[in-house]
């Protein structure tokens, strides 16, 4: 077999090694345009898990790599004169140059032919090769040449960065967030061998411009960085090696294979340096390719298997990298944070590390995080313990005069079980049990302001006396038997009205018994949905009046809070999104116009709703669709509602148009809550695939939301909050006297369960290489 590999970086060399081990008779040649020891960059970083993989696939190179390594366990975050260290991270650094020399030597030993200073510009010269590996790096000429087949997407990110080195020794992966006269600079630094560390500097484009870096050469910009970070560099120099400032390109390719050619490493997909995974991904691609080549009957099937089998892992890493890079791009959002909360945000930015996970590894750090959170709560007038505070989830919150005992919320959820809009026994049990379950706040399902405002025939309403009496019975039960506050969500279905019950076909039009629907513009939801009537001024006035009348009824029922539903493509949302609003009058066009009617309704409600009771608005912070609402629009929308007196923005997303492309995942809407909260400076509630109390604490402690709502988890577990309270020892959680023995038991058992869980986790966790090395080099204690 003949294999040609274009590019002698980590991907190309490691692929050559593994393929040659498998096929000692194969003719494998690597073509590299640079000289053998001519390498840019300084150190590379691998996690313990990646090194385990290297050990499994080629132990000679693994051994040589790890001999040269620097190990560290801690991450240190420097911010505004403070430093916070978190242990248990298990990382290793090595020089990129040594890594390449080790891989070259190993490849040669195995009989791979290496051609240096050989630039390949046409794959035609490998016409007789069975396999051509395109490992030609981030600017891959071959990916671009076959752009139609590989279909790359290149997202050039806004921040500027430059790789440099230093002789400054470091004993932790070090993040330094530095304020300067021009704006914030960030250093990501780690040691990779004795006396050598990598320094990646990053800043936003405006700070870059203000600092005049565009006009400086490599040496001058290194001098500028040395001056900014001089207090930390401690007299050590910064070293350069092609250390030009650039923008990071996030590369994704739709296809990785064309005929017998395959993309590997940076050529096919990149991962931002803030999660240190570029070289890891490149070498693990080589492992995946070698695995596929080992087992598949033909090269063509091997390449297919490589692409299919590897894609998910690469996309997962890229997603984590995306989330992380966005955090760094928006670091100014958190600049005013308490330093320990800021450090917690750095640690938990890409979702892999959580509150509970840090509690195991760095209990003192989490105790500080809890205290900082509690101090903020105390500053708002709550008499709470700040020395040994409860976890953030169990800290109270006040909105106007409404006080919530904790931050867990039952999200609004239609039950499709009302008769002519009247909530019945099902609703009493449903809301009653969830309130008793301990959530601080509970929302009603979308409660419709008129018969024709309903989504389905099963939707609850609040437009007549019978409905008012039925809701009052439920509110009374909740207030008598629980500590939960109860918010009424009012809405109008708009063009998504007159549709079937959820279990008969969500958003599908009713076949009979429907009613006329209205919207901002006459655009049907599905092509076969009813075409809505475009609302005229009279219709708007009527709808506004219906909202106000329902709010007045809500007040008479005794609800504690009112939410206006402006999300999910319903009537008010249809005004806000440009995808559903094509009006040419004062209610269409710019966002300011599209917001006009929803704001009018909000203001009318605010005037009618008692001043001491809070109001929220639910928005779709993105339409997940081309040309639709984006996170930046959501900030403007939130600001407009905040000016009109909103107390909380309930940040949801999507459901505006049927061809949206949401990116689901754990806590997938939280970044929007983060953006709205920390840019518009308004309290937010986040929601969406949040399933554990650990996630709730992580979100709250990092300052990404003020309240956390759970929808589906509450459908199957009304007692979610009381169980979490037992786990975190929040003894004050409300429990009705009838259920007190159950509470006592779960609290007693939880202490032991938690201890068992922690012991198990600690036992199951293998020692990091840093810990093993520290143990091996520890002097024996004197007897
Ligand atoms: C300036 C810079 C500095 C970096 N520094 C670091 C660092 O310090 N630490 C770290 O972890 N990561 C660093 N990275 C990222 C990291 O290098 C990559 O993620 C990783 O090397 C990817 O491996 P690869 O084999 O896919 O690509 P590369 O390492 O880029 O290797 C591709 C190779 O192909 C060669 N090549 C390209 N075209 C041709 C051609 N037509 N013919 C022949 N040869 C060709 C190139 O010369 C190169 O050697 C750096 C990246 C850049 C751009
Ligand atoms: C059965 C069901 C009904 C829902 N009804 C409503 C509703 O009436 N009003 C609303 O704003 N959101 C509604 N939602 C959306 C939820 O409030 C929540 O935003 C969504 O389920 C995501 O959160 P989760 O992942 O915790 O379930 C509903 C969700 C479900 C599952």
Ligand 2 centroid from CA 711, angstroms: 5
Phi-psi region of 645 (alpha: psi -120 to 50; beta: other; left: phi over 0): left
Residue 296 phi/psi, 5-degree rounding, is -85, 150
What integer pLDDT is reported at residue 756 of this predicted model? 86
445 lines ligand 2 (CB under 6 A): yes
711 lines ligand 2 (CB under 6 A): yes
213 lines ligand 2 (CB under 6 A): no
For residue 666, CA distances in Å to 342, 695, 772 come to 22, 9, 33
How many other CB atoms are there within 10 angstroms of residue 732's CB atom?
A: 12
State how far the Cα of 239 lies from the Cα of 222, in Å rounded to an integer: 8
Contacts 24+ apart (CB under 8 A), 688-694: 688/652, 688/653, 689/664, 689/665, 690/666, 691/666, 693/391, 693/393, 693/408, 693/720, 693/724, 693/727, 693/728, 694/354, 694/355, 694/356, 694/357
Protein residue with least CA distance to atom 21, ligand 2 = 711
Ligand 1 centroid from CA 282, angstroms: 9
546 lines ligand 2 (CB under 6 A): no
State the closest ligand 1 atom to the C-alpha of 119, by its place in the atom list counted from 1: 42
What integer pLDDT is reported at residue 678 of this predicted model? 97
What integer pLDDT is reported at residue 452 of this predicted model? 96
Whether the pLDDT of residue 482 is over 80: the answer is: yes
Whether the pLDDT of residue 387 is over 90: the answer is: yes
Protein residue with least CA distance to atom 10, ligand 1 = 44
- DSSP string of 469-514, one letter each residue: HHHHHHHHHHHHH-S-EEEEEEE--GGG-SB--HHHHTTPBPSSS-
What integer pLDDT is reported at residue 777 of this predicted model? 59
State how far the Cα of 450 lies from the Cα of 491, in Å rounded to an integer: 9
Strands (E), 90-230: 91-95, 113-115, 131-134, 152-166, 173-179, 184-193, 196-203
**pLDDT (average), residues 560-572:** 98
Ligand 1 centroid from CA 265, angstroms: 9
773 lines ligand 2 (CB under 6 A): no
673 lines ligand 2 (CB under 6 A): no
179-188, 348-357, 566-575: least confidently modelled range: 348-357
Per residue in 485-542, pLDDT (tens digit) is 999 999 999 999 999 999 999 999 999 999 999 999 999 999 999 999 999 999 999 9
- DSSP string of 205-273, one letter each residue: HHHHHHTTGGG--HHHHHHHHHHHTHHHHTTPPEE-SS---EEEEEEEES--EETTEEE-GGGT----G
Tokens of 450: 């008129």
What's the CA angle centered on 364, arms 362 and 366, to 5 degrees? 75
Ligand 1 centroid from CA 207, angstroms: 27
State how far the Cα of 548 lies from the Cα of 544, in Å rounded to an integer: 6
362 lines ligand 1 (CB under 6 A): no
For residue 24, CA distances in Å to 91, 238, 349, 355 come to 33, 44, 45, 49
Ligand 1 centroid from CA 118, angstroms: 16
Please report which confidence band the pLDDT of residue 775 belongs to, taking 50, 70 and 90 as the band edges. Answer: low
Protein residue with least CA distance to atom 3, ligand 2 = 413
Protein residue with least CA distance to atom 30, ligand 2 = 413
Please report which confidence band the pLDDT of residue 242 belongs to, taking 50, 70 and 90 as the band edges. Answer: confident
**Whole-prediction pTM value?**
0.91
Per residue in 694-733, pLDDT (tens digit) is 999 999 999 999 999 999 999 999 999 999 999 999 999 9
Ligand 2 centroid from CA 717, angstroms: 15
165 lines ligand 1 (CB under 6 A): no
Is beta strand 152-166 parallel, antiparallel or unpaired with respect to 196-203? antiparallel
Q: Which residue has the tokens 């403007």?
A: 636
Ligand 1 centroid from CA 21, angstroms: 24
Ligand 2 centroid from CA 618, angstroms: 11
265 lines ligand 1 (CB under 6 A): yes
Mutate to test the pocket of ligand 2, among 413, 462, 620, 710 (most ligand atoms within 8 A of CB): 413
**pLDDT (average), residues 610-625:** 98
Tokens of 546: 């219906």
Q: Which ligand is nearest to the CA of 163?
A: 1
Protein residue with least CA distance to atom 29, ligand 2 = 413
Higher pLDDT, 771 or 596: 596
**pLDDT (average), residues 759-777:** 70
What integer pLDDT is reported at residue 771 of this predicted model? 73
Nearest Cα residue to 354 out of 670, 593, 40: 670
411 lines ligand 2 (CB under 6 A): yes
Report the C-alpha dihedral over residues 307, 308, 314, 315, rounded to 10 degrees. 120
Protein residue with least CA distance to atom 11, ligand 1 = 44
State how far the Cα of 297 lies from the Cα of 300, in Å rounded to an integer: 9
Q: Which ligand is nearest to the CA of 668?
A: 2
114 lines ligand 1 (CB under 6 A): no
State the closest ligand 2 atom to the C-alpha of 690, by its place in the atom list counted from 1: 26
How many other CB atoms are there within 10 angstroms of residue 171's CB atom?
A: 15
Ligand 1 centroid from CA 228, angstroms: 28
Our separate counts of H helices and E strands in the chain read 28, 30
Q: How far out from the chain centre does Cα 568 lie?
A: 21
Please report which confidence band the pLDDT of residue 144 belongs to, taking 50, 70 and 90 as the band edges. Answer: very high
Q: Which ligand is nearest to the CA of 685?
A: 2
Please report which confidence band the pLDDT of residue 639 belongs to, taking 50, 70 and 90 as the band edges. Answer: very high
Which helix (DSSP H) or strand (DSSP E) does residue 143 occupy? Answer: helix 141-145
Please report which confidence band the pLDDT of residue 759 belongs to, taking 50, 70 and 90 as the band edges. Answer: confident
What integer pLDDT is reported at residue 691 of this predicted model? 97
Q: How far out from the chain centre does Cα 746 lie?
A: 32
688 lines ligand 2 (CB under 6 A): yes
Tokens of 654: 């999507």
303 lines ligand 2 (CB under 6 A): no
Nearest Cα residue to 548 out of 588, 492, 469, 485: 492
> 40 with 241: CB under 8 angstroms?
yes
Nearest Cα residue to 369 out of 349, 398, 345: 345
Mutate to test the pocket of ligand 1, among 14, 15, 120, 163 (most ligand atoms within 8 A of CB): 163
Whether the pLDDT of residue 463 is over 80: the answer is: yes
715 lines ligand 1 (CB under 6 A): no
What integer pLDDT is reported at residue 490 of this predicted model? 98
Q: Which ligand is nearest to the CA of 490?
A: 2
What's the CA angle centered on 505, arms 495 and 667, to 5 degrees? 80
Ligand 1 centroid from CA 220, angstroms: 25
Mutate to test the pocket of ligand 1, among 65, 138, 154, 250 (most ligand atoms within 8 A of CB): 138
What integer pLDDT is reported at residue 18 of this predicted model? 98
State the closest ligand 1 atom to the C-alpha of 121, by its place in the atom list counted from 1: 41
Three-state DSSP class for 43? Answer: strand
Q: What is the mean pLDDT of the chain?
A: 94
Ligand 1 centroid from CA 38, angstroms: 11
What integer pLDDT is reported at residue 8 of this predicted model? 97
Nearest Cα residue to 374 out of 403, 341, 404: 341
Gap between the terminal Cα atoms of the chain? 63
Please report which confidence band the pLDDT of residue 781 belongs to, taking 50, 70 and 90 as the band edges. Answer: very low
What integer pLDDT is reported at residue 578 of this predicted model? 98
Mutate to test the pocket of ligand 2, among 410, 412, 650 (most ligand atoms within 8 A of CB): 412
Residue 484 phi/psi, 5-degree rounding, is -70, 145
State how far the Cα of 549 lies from the Cα of 568, in Å rounded to an integer: 23
DSSP 682: -
Burial of residue 156 (CB within 10 Å: 0-12, 13-18, 19+) is exposed
**pLDDT (average), residues 642-652:** 98
Ligand 2 centroid from CA 29, angstroms: 57
- DSSP string of 413-473, one letter each residue: ------BTTB--HHHHHHHHHHHHTT-SEEEPPPEESSGGG-SSTT--B-SSHHHHHHHHH
Protein residue with least CA distance to atom 50, ligand 1 = 41
What are residue 79's DSSP bridge partners? 82, 177
CB environment 390-401: b (16+ within 10 A), e (fewer): bbbbbbbbebee
> 687 with 668: CB under 8 angstroms?
no
291 lines ligand 1 (CB under 6 A): no
> 143 with 253: CB under 8 angstroms?
yes
Whether the pLDDT of residue 783 is over 70: the answer is: no
710 lines ligand 2 (CB under 6 A): yes
The question of whether 570 is a catalytic residue gets the answer: yes
Nearest Cα residue to 521 out of 530, 534, 531: 534
Three-state DSSP class for 83? Answer: strand
**pLDDT (average), residues 74-87:** 93
Protein residue with least CA distance to atom 11, ligand 2 = 412
Contacts of 250 (CB under 8 A, 6+ apart): 154, 155, 156, 157, 270, 272, 318, 321, 322, 325
Protein residue with least CA distance to atom 12, ligand 1 = 44
DSSP 739: G
- DSSP string of 598-631, one letter each residue: HHHHHHHHHHHS-TTS-EEEEEES--SSTTS--H
Whether the pLDDT of residue 160 is over 90: the answer is: yes
3-state helix, strand and coil shares in percent for the chain, rounded to the nearest 5: 45, 20, 35
Catalytic: which of 14, 431, 525, 570? 570
Tokens of 79: 């911010």
Per residue in 295-328, pLDDT (tens digit) is 999 999 999 999 999 999 999 899 889 989 999 9
Protein residue with least CA distance to atom 38, ligand 1 = 136
652 lines ligand 2 (CB under 6 A): yes
């Amino acid at each position: 077999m003949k294999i040609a590999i274009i590019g002698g970086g980590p991907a190309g060399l490691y692929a050559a090694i593994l393929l040659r081990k498998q096929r000692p008779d194969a003719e494998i040649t690597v073509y590299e345009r640079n000289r053998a020891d001519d390498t840019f960059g300084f150190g590379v970083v691998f996690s313990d898990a990646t090194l385990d993989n290297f050990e499994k696939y080629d132990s000679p190179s693994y051994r040589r790599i790890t001999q040269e390594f620097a190990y560290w366990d801690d991450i240190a975050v420097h911010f505004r004169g403070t430093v916070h260290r978190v242990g248990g991270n298990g990382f290793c650094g090595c020089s990129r140059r040594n890594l390449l020399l080790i891989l070259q030597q190993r490849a040669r030993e195995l009989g791979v032919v290496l051609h240096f200073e050989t630039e390949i510009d046409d794959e035609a010269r490998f016409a007789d090769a069975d396999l051509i590996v395109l490992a030609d790096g981030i600017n891959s000429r071959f990916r671009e040449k076959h752009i139609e087949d590989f279909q790359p997407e290149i997202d050039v990110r806004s921040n500027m960065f430059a790789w440099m080195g230093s002789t400054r020794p470091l004993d932790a992966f070090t993040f330094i967030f530095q304020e300067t006269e021009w704006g914030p600079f960030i250093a990501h630094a780690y040691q990779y061998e004795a006396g050598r560390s990598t320094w990646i500097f990053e800043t936003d484009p405006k700070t870059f411009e203000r600092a005049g870096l565009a006009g400086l050469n490599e040496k001058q910009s290194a001098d500028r960085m040395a001056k900014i970070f001089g207090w930390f560099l401690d007299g050590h120099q910064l070293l350069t090696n092609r250390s030009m400032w650039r923008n990071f390109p996030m590369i994704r390719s739709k296809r990785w294979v064309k005929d017998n050619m395959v993309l590997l490493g940076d050529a096919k997909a990149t991962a931002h340096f803030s999660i240190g995974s570029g070289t890891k991904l490149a070498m693990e691609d080589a492992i995946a390719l070698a695995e596929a080549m080992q087992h598949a009957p033909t090269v063509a099937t091997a390449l297919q298997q490589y692409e299919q089998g590897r894609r998910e892992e690469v996309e997962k890493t890229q997603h984590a990298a995306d989330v992380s890079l966005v955090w760094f791009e928006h670091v100014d959002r958190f600049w005013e944070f308490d330093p320990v909360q800021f450090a917690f945000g750095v640690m938990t930015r890409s979702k892999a590390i959580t509150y509970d996970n840090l509690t195991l590894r760095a209990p003192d750090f989490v105790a500080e995080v809890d205290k900082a959170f509690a101090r903020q709560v105390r500053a708002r007038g709550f008499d709470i313990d700040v020395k040994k505070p409860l976890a953030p989830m169990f800290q109270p919150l006040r909105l106007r005069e409404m006080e919530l005992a904790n931050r867990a919320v039952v999200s609004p959820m239609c039950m499709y079980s009302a008769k002519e809009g009247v909530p019945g026994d099902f609703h009493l049990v449903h809301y009653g049990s969830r309130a008793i379950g301990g959530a601080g706040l509970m929302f009603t399902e979308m409660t419709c302001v008129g018969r024709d405002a309903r989504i389905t025939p099963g939707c609850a309403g609040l437009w007549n006396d019978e409905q008012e009496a039925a809701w009052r019975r439920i509110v009374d039960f909740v207030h008598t038997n629980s500590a939960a506050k109860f918010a009424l969500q009012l809405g109008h279905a708009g063009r998504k009205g007159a549709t079937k019950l959820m279990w008969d076909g969500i958003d599908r039009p009713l076949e009979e018994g429907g009613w006329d629907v209205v919207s901002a513009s006459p655009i049907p939801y599905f092509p076969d949905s009813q075409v809505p009537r475009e609302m005229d001024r009279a219709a708007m006035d009527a709808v506004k009046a219906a909202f106000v009348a329902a709010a007045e009824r809500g007040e008479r029922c005794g609800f504690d809070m009112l939410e206006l539903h402006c999300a999910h493509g319903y009537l008010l949302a249809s005004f806000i999104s440009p995808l559903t609003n094509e009006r040419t009058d004062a209610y269409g066009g710019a966002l300011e116009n599209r917001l006009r009617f929803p704001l009018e309704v909000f203001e009318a409600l605010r005037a009618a709703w008692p001043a001491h009771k809070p109001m929220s608005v639910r928005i779709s912070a993105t339409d997940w669709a081309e040309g639709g609402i984006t996170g930046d629009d959501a900030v403007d929308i939130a600001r407009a509602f905040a000016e009109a007196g909103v107390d909380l923005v309930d940040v949801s997303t999507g459901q505006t148009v049927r061809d949206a492309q949401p990116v689901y995942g754990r806590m997938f809407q939280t970044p929007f809550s983060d953006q709205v909260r920390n840019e518009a400076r308004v309290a937010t509630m986040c929601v969406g695939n949040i399933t554990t109390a650990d996630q709730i604490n992580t979100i709250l402690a990092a300052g990404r939301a003020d309240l956390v709502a759970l929808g589906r988890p509450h459908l199957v577990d009304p007692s979610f909050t009381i169980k979490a309270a037992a786990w975190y020892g929040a003894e004050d959680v409300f429990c009705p006297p009838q259920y007190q023995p159950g509470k006592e038991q779960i609290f007693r058992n939880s202490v032991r369960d938690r201890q068992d869980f922690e012991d198990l986790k600690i036992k199951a966790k293998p020692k990091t290489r840093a810990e093993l090395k520290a143990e091996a080099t520890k002097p024996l204690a004197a007897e």
